[in-house]
Structure 1
Amino acid sequence: MGWVGALGRRFNAIVWQPELERLHGPRRWALVAVRILLTLIEDFRNGEITMRAMGLVYTTLVSLVPLLALAFSLLKAFGVDNALRPVLQRFLSPLGAGSGQIIDKIVDFVQNVQVGVLGAIGMVTLIYSVVSLIQKVEAGCNYIWHVRKPRSIGRRVTEYISVLVAGPLVILAAASMTATVSSNSTVGWLTSIEPFGAALYLAGRILPYVLYGIGFTVLFKFIPNTRVWLLPALGGGAFAGVLWQTASLGFAWFAHNAGNVNAIYSSFAILILLLIWLYVSWMILLLGCRVAFLLQHTERLTRGDYPPRLGAAERERLALLITTLVADRFMRGGMPWTTSALARTLRAAPDHIQDIADQLVTGGIFIEAGELGTTLLPRRDIAEVRLARVVEIVRAGDPSARAQPRDTNAARAIDTLIGKIEQAGQSVYRDRSLRDMALQLHAESESVDGKLADSA
């Protein structure tokens, strides 16, 4: 079977060895698509995304009735509470004929929930159940996007309430549009005329993919607590929309032919199918969010571990680069640097930039600002911050992790050597501040601009 190994090596050479930055056009995007597919398979095998999807299934079961109760109350206020059943029928249609039983039970539960008479404790519990579901979805997307700082409490309250208010209105608008188009006499007349009939039939088949793609795009654009570009969100939304509609058709066929499941679980079979469909739905949402992330961060589409291991010398170099750029921008009164902008400018892994930024914030060099991404600002006068202090902060670790060798003679010898090395570094860094580095950067920039002007 040597040819299998040779084929695998050839495949890896084609897919993983070329650098994406050097490629353009169709070949680049073909490689990106293949690498994303392989990365999703690896993510599925690792199990983190699948565990989060399982957690969302549990949260959905707990929060479904409270969520629909609030939505039902809002829809009832607009006089369109009958729109709830068609939405449930559309979402649960892959479960087959048995979905009607679940829909009837859910609607009965929702109609029996009297939001106005729950009292303060009941109302808080109801809202908490709903918010926990939205918060868990946000946490899953933030994990995929490597967002370390969730939304603030104020933003959570306002934005979650906006979702709860806007959601029923969007459902109402979609239901109204669908009913209007279906009952329109002009549409019915055009359907009887070819080729308009075939075109409308084809459009009706494609329309669900488009609508689901738009819905997922909006989710991937706004749920992560970071700045998501439109094109990556659109790519992830298209992937999730096509996958969800295709999965719903496939699951409907599976539910129709699941004789073994019905034989084993009897009357509980429909509940088992519901759990499986919820799991599939959440997996599609998380995988689509992952696609959007990979499209925006194509540097992560590598075969090895990401981010690559960073040496001590390179960490110090990055820290000095970051502090110099931040000080220069602050001194000139420009727009403050964000960690994502620093990663793009320095062509460094965002994880490395964020780790070093966290150390510098903890060490008192910078303060963090901003909700969407981390913005870095000097904590005190840049003329008072010495480079030696920056290097000291980046080198520092947990004191409890310091090795305590049994051979004290060897320890003393090494400590003496390290002390001499640090003294040599201090002689270089001691009198240089961040302001000095910013002035040097400014002077070198003017020198380069002058040379370019002379050559022109």
Structure 2
Amino acid sequence: MFKFLKKIKDFIYEDIWRIRLKTLPRNKSTFLRCFKVFILAVKGYINDKCELWASALTFYSLLSLVPVCAMLFGIAKGFGYDEKLKILLYERFAGQEEVLNRIVAFAESFLENAKGGVIAGFGVILLFWTVIQIFGNIESSFNSIWGIKKSRSISRKITDYLSLTLICPVLIIISSSATVFVSAQLKSIGGMLAYQELLGPVIVYTVRLLPIIVIWVLFTFIYSFMPNTKVRFYSALTAGIIAGSTYQFLQEFYVFVQIALSSYNAIYGSFSALPLFLVWLRLSWLIVLFGAEISFAVQNVENTEYEPDCLRLSLSYKKLIALRICHYIVKRFCAIKRAPSDMEIVDALDIPIRLVRELLFTLVKGGVLSEVVFPDDTASGYQPALDIDKFSIVRVLDAMDSGELGRLPTREDESFKNIVDTFSRFREELEKSPANVLLKDIA
């Protein structure tokens, strides 16, 4: 029995990742792909500490709830949509009226107090800073899931996040109005047709699906926009549908539980909704983060083959892979081709994505590669950071050996000094060696 369980464990953790999907028939590869996506998402959920991220995001959400709502209402008020936005929020968050009443009251009070002179300027700065902070923390959690070491620059955070905040209230109201309009048109058409009995149920189900479709679109946008990398639409859409549907179920369940636990009123009084709201908020973030794991798994399921083996790679083999990556980038540079992104390197060299990103980060930090951002694309490219006539094997090895600190305060006796001198001479001889060729000269 224990041997059987061990075989299952070994298959899930190691053996399944050694099976190449490209070598299997289509029906088998489809089933195995879905199974791998599920396992990869669950493993990522655990390894990326999504529960810890959800707790942190819940805390930041509570802190920023009133300022962000104040900004949304302020923007909506500028377009004359503040009342519509308020109605929409009560519709979307049915069952949370007590919490919403307090949030709306605090937000309106915040806007009233932030009028005139220095207070207005401080209030605006606080609003913008809060928005950047909450979106920055969401991006950090998504980047952790995607294995991205570098966040957006400060300038990009300001432009991207504030643009999103300015546009969101208008888009939410427009999408809600469009939903109401489409629902009315469908009902009108259903009443005019002779086959009303046949089309009636179809129209009813279509009208019921419209709100969840809006949620799917919202989640899909989050999964494609928030990570600081290029996310394929299919990956974001798959995750958006799964996470959005789960979120909608949570919303319905929340209303049911709130009604069932109405006895909380006797204990908490007017704050009876607060404990349930906190639970709902944390579960919502868990769903969002698990959806991010799904989007990563869908996009990179083929690139994670042999990933468990990558975690046990020796330093010497990592250096060999780093040389392979640098050689590919140098050859493209010599051919005057566009600097490849991390995903292009993965597809070209068939190396697991996390290993590629880890090595690229080290090589950029070591000064042999530089990251370039394309104006027409969210993905970054990588090109040589030094003259290709000096881009030798030893330069790559030195970059792999570089770190934050060059030395530690150890006992520097005579023996240690002799070792340092010998090692320095060894490095010099290695650099002068005929085997230390330029990467561009390797076929």
Which TM-score bucket, shorter chain as reference? 0.7 to 0.9
Task: Give yes or no for the alignment of 1:6 onto 2:4.
Answer: yes
| Contact kept? 2:190, 2:196, Cα under 8 Å | no
Q: Deviations over 1:231-256 (max 9, x none)?
A: 11111111111111112122222222
Q: Please report how far the alpha carbon of residue 202 of structure 1 lies from its aligned counterpart in structure 2 after TM superposition.
A: 1.8
1:100 alignment partner AA: E
Equivalent residues, number: 430
Greater mean deviation of Cα atoms: 249-258 or 146-155: 249-258
| Contact kept? 1:213, 1:237, Cα under 8 Å | yes
In 2, Cα distance between equivalents of 1:225 and 1:418: 40
Task: Give yes or no for the alignment of 1:107 onto 2:104.
Answer: yes
1:386 alignment partner AA: S
Q: 1:293 to 1:42 in 2, by over 3 A?
A: closer
5 Å-filtered alignment, 1:15-414, equals 16-17=15-16, 18-45=19-46, 48-93=49-94, 96=95, 99-112=96-109, 113-114=111-112, 115-117=114-116, 118-184=119-185, 186-187=188-189, 189=191, 193-258=196-261, 261-262=264-265, 264-299=267-302, 305=308, 307-370=310-373, 372-395=378-401, 399-400=406-407
| Contact kept? 1:316, 1:395, Cα under 8 Å | no
Greater mean deviation of Cα atoms: 133-142 or 18-27: 18-27
Q: Deviations over 1:5-47 (max 9, x none)?
A: 6367458648953443433534333333333334444455557
TM-score, with structure 1 as normaliser: 0.82
In 2, Cα distance between equivalents of 1:169 and 1:316: 51
Q: Please report how far the alpha carbon of residue 278 of structure 1 lies from its aligned counterpart in structure 2 after TM superposition.
A: 0.9
Give the SS at the match of 2:121.
helix
| Contact kept? 2:179, 2:210, Cα under 8 Å | no
Q: Please report how far the alpha carbon of residue 268 of structure 1 lies from its aligned counterpart in structure 2 after TM superposition.
A: 2.8
Q: Please report how far the alpha carbon of residue 408 of structure 1 lies from its aligned counterpart in structure 2 after TM superposition.
A: 6.3
Q: Please report how far the alpha carbon of residue 111 of structure 1 lies from its aligned counterpart in structure 2 after TM superposition.
A: 2.8
2:381 alignment partner AA: T
Give the SS at the match of 2:326.
helix
| Contact kept? 1:63, 1:133, Cα under 8 Å | yes
Task: Give yes or no for the alignment of 1:436 onto 2:438.
Answer: no
Aligned to 1:448: none
Greater mean deviation of Cα atoms: 139-148 or 305-314: 305-314
Q: Please report how far the alpha carbon of residue 293 of structure 1 lies from its aligned counterpart in structure 2 after TM superposition.
A: 0.5
Q: 1:300 to 1:269 in 2, by over 3 A?
A: farther
Q: Please report how far the alpha carbon of residue 87 of structure 1 lies from its aligned counterpart in structure 2 after TM superposition.
A: 2.6
2:179 alignment partner AA: T
Structure possessing the higher radius of gyration over alpha carbons: 1
Alpha-carbon RMSD: 3.5
| Contact kept? 1:36, 1:301, Cα under 8 Å | no
Greater mean deviation of Cα atoms: 198-207 or 411-420: 411-420
Q: Please report how far the alpha carbon of residue 83 of structure 1 lies from its aligned counterpart in structure 2 after TM superposition.
A: 1.5
Q: Please report how far the alpha carbon of residue 422 of structure 1 lies from its aligned counterpart in structure 2 after TM superposition.
A: 8.7
2:275 alignment partner AA: I
Q: Please report how far the alpha carbon of residue 102 of structure 1 lies from its aligned counterpart in structure 2 after TM superposition.
A: 2.2
Identity across aligned pairs (percent)? 25
| Contact kept? 1:208, 1:245, Cα under 8 Å | no
Greater mean deviation of Cα atoms: 170-179 or 27-36: 27-36
TM-score, with structure 2 as normaliser: 0.84
In 1, Cα distance between equivalents of 2:430 and 2:136: 51
Greater mean deviation of Cα atoms: 150-159 or 375-384: 375-384
| Contact kept? 2:363, 2:369, Cα under 8 Å | yes
In 2, Cα distance between equivalents of 1:402 and 1:428: 36
Q: 1:319 to 1:395 in 2, by over 3 A?
A: same
Give the SS at the match of 1:195.
helix
Specify every segment of 5 or more residues in structure 2 that has no aligned partner in the other structure, as ranges: none
| Contact kept? 1:53, 1:283, Cα under 8 Å | yes
Greater mean deviation of Cα atoms: 119-128 or 204-213: 204-213
Q: Please report how far the alpha carbon of residue 100 of structure 1 lies from its aligned counterpart in structure 2 after TM superposition.
A: 2.3
Q: Deviations over 1:150-197 (max 9, x none)?
A: 112222111112111210111111221233244456156269921211
2:294 alignment partner AA: V
Q: 1:197 to 1:324 in 2, by over 3 A?
A: same
Aligned to 1:449: none
Larger RCO: 1 or 2 (CA < 8 Å, sep 6+): 2
Give the SS at the match of 2:433.
helix
| Contact kept? 2:243, 2:291, Cα under 8 Å | yes
Greater mean deviation of Cα atoms: 179-188 or 250-259: 179-188
| Contact kept? 2:341, 2:379, Cα under 8 Å | yes
Q: 1:388 to 1:34 in 2, by over 3 A?
A: closer
Aligned to 1:444: none
In 1, Cα distance between equivalents of 2:342 and 2:12: 33
In 2, Cα distance between equivalents of 1:107 and 1:404: 63
In 2, Cα distance between equivalents of 1:170 and 1:377: 39
Give the SS at the match of 1:375.
strand
1:54 alignment partner AA: S
In 2, Cα distance between equivalents of 1:355 and 1:53: 25
Greater mean deviation of Cα atoms: 390-399 or 320-329: 390-399
In 2, Cα distance between equivalents of 1:286 and 1:200: 33
| Contact kept? 2:307, 2:352, Cα under 8 Å | no
2:125 alignment partner AA: V
